[in-house]
Amino acid sequence: MEPASDTSAEQLRQRIDLLLDAAQRLADENRQLRAAQEQWVSERAALIAKNEQARSRVEAMIQRLKSLEQNA
């Protein structure tokens, strides 16, 4: 039969191993989430730029149409 301290030490080692595994999984998940966030931020910036370009084009077309209307 094992002494109580050996059993407690083994249980403690097992708990520590579980905690280390959980910490590693969380670190991996965190890394993946940060990478996904960076991708979303990049995509958002690209969409905002495209939206601004489209707005500028529409405004330019409206101005040309107004100009044509006044000259007609």
Q: How far apart are CA 59 and CA 46, in angstroms?
A: 20
Stretch 49-56: mean pLDDT, rounded? 98
Q: Parse the chain into domains and list their residue ranges.
A: 1-72
Summarize the chain as % helix, strand, coil (round to 5). Answer: 95, 0, 5
Is the model's pLDDT at 33 over the cut of 70? yes
* Average per-residue pLDDT for the chain: 94
Of the pLDDT bands very low, low, confident and very high (cuts 50, 70, 90), residue 4 is low
Q: How far apart are CA 43 and CA 50, in angstroms?
A: 11
Query: b/e for 4-24, b at 16 or more Cβ within 10 A?
Result: eeeeeeeeeeeeeeeeeeeee
Of the pLDDT bands very low, low, confident and very high (cuts 50, 70, 90), residue 2 is low
Determine the longest span between alpha carbons in the chain, in angstroms. Answer: 105
Stretch 43-54: mean pLDDT, rounded? 98
